[in-house]
Every structure is written in structure tokens, then in C-alpha cells.
Structure 1
Amino acid sequence: MATTAAATGTVVLVDAALAPYEHPDLRWLVRNHVLAVLQEFPTLSPSVDTYTSDDGASAVLLNARGFLAVSSDLPPILLTVWLPREYPYCPPLVYVFPAAPSASLVPDHPFVDHRTGRVHRTLPYLEDWGVPRSSLAGLVRSLVEALRMCHPLRAASFGFAAATTRARARTPVEEERGRMHTVLVDELASRLGRDAAAFRGGVDQDIHDMSSLQAGLRTRGDAMGRAVHDLEEERMRLERAVTASLAHRGKLLTWLHKASPARAPDAAAAVAPHAAAGDAQRWLESKALELAVDDTIDALGHALENGELSFQEYIKRVKILAREQFFHCHEASTSMST
């Protein structure tokens, strides 16, 4: 009966504490997580307290705290697990403290900050936190396994284990084993701390290098954007120049069509005085070649309009034909003068 009443009181406390949480549809899941961790680790108990973050903001949060035995040979620790308002989408905030006032945490611990006692996100379970595969019970089990390999307390604090366990006579062999165990654990903790510090230094250097590379890539991206903008403006300018050239060409063709028929009667009249002199044939050939050049230029203009000929090729051929037409025109004029 007492156990049932206690469990009912725990459920009521948890439900009341979860009232202001952000995900009301998941309160049943949070309640199951809390009850499961309390059932698996009876030394923990739920409570509601004010949590103050590093930036000074405070909020009333549900938490589970109590002594956590890592192993029978190592001293217990004082564990506090805070559930933020965004839980379960946000991982819980875990703190580890020495159970004895005289004990202290190991500096440069791979998982625990020795100044605040907070468990880092480097703990694999916290780093891979996700819904619905993660839970409070799984987090505490993972923490126990991690701290069993690398205990957060200094080696001098391990004497607390003997004070909290039942007194028994220890043989010299057991004493030597205990001393060696303490030395090995201390050495392992020191090595892990040094490795974690070196790893963090390498990660910081990689982050710095990647930030510098990102800044360089951003600068190159801006330069390429400006170059593309300039090329687009150049393309539009060339399009306007081609349009203006085509308009000018149209005016030239119109002028040539108007001027060519006007010269035909004069040419026919000029042929008559020289028909017997033998220059008429030469004049006619020169005039025909001149008019053929006009037709060729006209055909090139149509090819340019249809996209069958580039503007540079069109200008090149028109220059050659204009030079050739000039000589034919000079030949015809010379024949008429003769």
C-alpha cells in the first residue's frame, strides 16, 4: 500500500511539473521516461527546482537527483538530471558532483567539466540524442558505463568508498591490488584527460581552418558573382550594338535598292555612244559584276538575320565585297569616260 501511494504521489508530482512544458501531446512519453529511470535507479528521486543557465536565465524544471553507484569498487557520485522545457526533442542537462564534500572532480575529464560538474555533449548518448530512440534510463546507463571506465573523482577521493561500504578485513594482497587499481585508474584518467585536451585543440584548429576556408570561398563567390554580372552587362551591350548595326544595314540596303534602278537608264543611255568603240561590252560586264556584288551583300544580310552567319563573318565578307565592288564601279566609270 505504501509503495502504491508513493508511486501515485510521484505520478502526480511529475504531471504537475510537466504542465508548463512545450509539448503537451508528449507529456505521457516524458512521464514514462521519468518513471522508468526512477524504477531502474531507485536511488534517484524526482523534484521541481529552479534551474539557472549560463546566461542568467532561470526556469522551474523537473529533475531527478540522487546518489548513483558507478560500481562496487568506486565511490558513488551525486547525479542531477534536469529536463528542459523542450524535452524530449532537446536532451536533458546532466550534472555530476562528488558525494563527499572533501572530494573533487578530475580536471580535463573527457565527459565532465570539473568546474561546473556538467556532463559534456561528448558523451556518445547525449551526442546522438534523438526521439524516440533515446530515454532517461538509457542515458543514465550510458553514463554509468562511461564513468566506470573513467571515474570523475580524483584518486585521493576514493577513500570515501571504504567509508560508505561495510568494514571488512583486507589482506595484504587485496591492499596491493587496491593500491594498483587506484594508480591505474588515476593514470587512465590522466591519459584520457590529456587525449581529450589534445583532441579539443585539434578540433578548434580544424574549426579555425574551415572558417578561414569558408571566408575565402565566400570572397571568391562574391568575385564570381560580380564577374557574371559584368559579363551579362557586356552581353546586353553587344546585343544592343548588333541591333543598331542591323538597323544601319537595313538603311544601307534600302538606299542601295533606291540608287541602283536610278542608274540603270543613265547606263543604258551611256552605252549607245560607245557601242561601236568596243568599250560597251567591258562596261556591261563591270556593271553586271557591280550589281552582282549588291545581290551578294543582300543575301549575306538575309543570312545574318536568319542566324546562319555570325556578325563578325558578315562584316568580313562585306568588306571584301565592297572593295571588289569599288573596282568594278571604277572599271565601269573608266569605260564610260573612254
Structure 2
Amino acid sequence: MAPPPAKMQEIHQFLSSALSQRGPSALPYDETTKSLIRQHLLNLISSYTSLDPKTATFTHNDGRSVILLQADGTIPMPFQGVNYNIPVVIWLLESYPHYPPCVYVNPTRDMIIKRPHTNVSPSGLVSLPYLQNWVYPSSNLVDLASHLSAAFSRDPPLYSQRRPPPQPSPSIGSGYSRPLNPYQTDGAAEVYKKNAINKIVEMVHGDLVLMRSAREVETEGLLSLQSGLKRREEEINNGLKEMVNEKETLEQQLQVIAMNTDVLGSWIRENQGKAKNLLVDLDVGDAFECSETLSKQMLECTALDLAIEDVVYSMDKSFRDGSLPFDQYLRNVRLLSREQFFHRATAEKVREIQMDAQVASIAARLHS
């Protein structure tokens, strides 16, 4: 039978609050597995309503103490046609769910652990094949509880410790009076003490639930605000980066425009009076004269590159028409491509040198 909706809501709030803690009070579980841990515990409580999730201090064998989640309560054990409840504590260690939990039988004062037992040590530690063969992510707490119930049904780990029968006390004037139960008074006091403790625990638990609910709402608001701030920070950083890149691009374009303007201005000033002396039958090849060695080398490399491009185009057309053999076509294309590569590489180096010279010239004029 599933627990009441009010209790399930309370368990939901408790697990959400416990697993969302940050800082020194955070539980030592990996962030990527906290949602799976929460779902495992919810499934366990839905199937076994006698178990409750809690947080408590667990002490390792090396003496380290750490606050962990646990499922505390009882596991049903059918035995000889009667259902018994075996008190257990299921500890979710730091490595859960990649590694199995740690299960202890938690006997009350009137119970004793059976010795020897196949699956339970004298200290109460439970050892099952299901725990030894734990496989992530298929293994879970619901199946573990089912295996515990089945194993305990085959061999109950606890049995009741019988109290010694009360001894009759003699009375004056008659043989023996009605035997007194020395546990009756102690039992009433114990019940009163337990009721008082339970009342206090309920009050404290109610206050803690209210505090956790308020903290959970506050935490969700802060996390939402933090997420919004991080998103805006990323948008601002991206916008600033784009503006810096755009500024650098505009500066480079401005430098290129300034250089081209300077080159055109120089050419206009040098050739402004030459238009009147031009002849009608002027050869186009003599119209341009390189003023320096680099420009002449640039012109020659560019002319050779374009000429090789035309030759390769013509050879490709001849090969498609069938007038040029395939082996001759490949040999000539390889030779021409090699020569074209060197011409293009030389032209690129000359272009870089000319660009550096123009930048230096513009910088010198700006400083003068």
C-alpha cells in the first residue's frame, strides 16, 4: 500500500532539501547522481511504507565520520505463515549508486542476532549476493529490499530475548500472594517517556519541515537569480567579444583604404601631366612601366601564373576532345602545376614585402 499523499509530499520536500544543500552542509554525493538517489529512495518508500528516509552520521572503519542518507525502518519477513517486521538500516554511502549500499540489521532491546547466520554478521552487517553483484545502473533499493525479505524468510536473523518469569514473593499470614510483575511499573514509565519523546520529536520535526520549506523556496529563488546573472554575463561577454572583433576588422579595412588612397594619390600626381603627351598608336604593353624591382617581379609572376592557367585549360579541353593522350596530359599538368606553385609563392612573398613597405610609409607620414 502506498503511503498517504501528505507523507509522500513531506518525503519529497525532505529529499529535495537534503540533496540541494551546498557548502559544508552538503551531502557527499556526486551531483550527477543526486536525482537518481532521490528517485531510488522515493521508489523504496512507495513500495515499503515502513521505511523512512533520514540523514545521520555514519562512521567508517578508519574513523571518518560523515553525514549520509539512510532508509530506517522495518522489512516484512513472512515466516511459517506469519509476517514479521525485521528492523534494518540501509546506508547510502558516498559512492552510491555506483557501488552498493551498506545494510545493517538493527535489533531492538528485546531482540538478539542469531549466531551463526548465513547473511548477517554478529555486528548486524548484512551480506547478500545481490549486494556483492551490484551493477550500476540496473541495481536499485526496491530489488534490494525484496532480496532482504526473501533471505530473512529462509533464515530469520533475529529472535526475541525472553524475560525471566517473575518469582513469587511470600506474604505474612498466608502461603503465597499473587505474583507481582516487576516490569509493570517500569513499562508504564517507559511508555510515558516514549510518548513524551515522540511528542517532542514531532514538534521539532514540524519546525524543521517549515524551516526546510522556507529555505528551499529561498534557495530556488537564489539559484534562479544566479542562473539569470550567469546568462546575462555570457551575453555581455559575447557582445563585447564581437565588438572587439568588429573593431579590429574595421581598423584593418581602414588601413587598407588608407594605403590604396595613398597609392592612387601618388599615381595621379606622377601621371597628371602625361595625358597630353600620349600618342594614338601607343602600345598597351608600354603603357605600364614598373618603378621598382619588386613591382616588376610581381608583374612577371602574375603574368606567368595566368599564362600557365590558360595552358592548363587548353590542355584539359584537348584531353576531353581526345587529341591529347592521357599520360602526356598528366605529365605536362604536373610540370606546369609545379612551376605555377613557385610563381604563386613568389608573388605572395613579394605582396607581403610591399604591404609592409606601404604600412611603414604611411606610419612615417602620419608621424611627420
Structure 1 or 2: more helix by fraction:
1
**If the length of structure 2 is used for normalisation, what is the TM-score?**
0.39
**If the length of structure 1 is used for normalisation, what is the TM-score?**
0.42
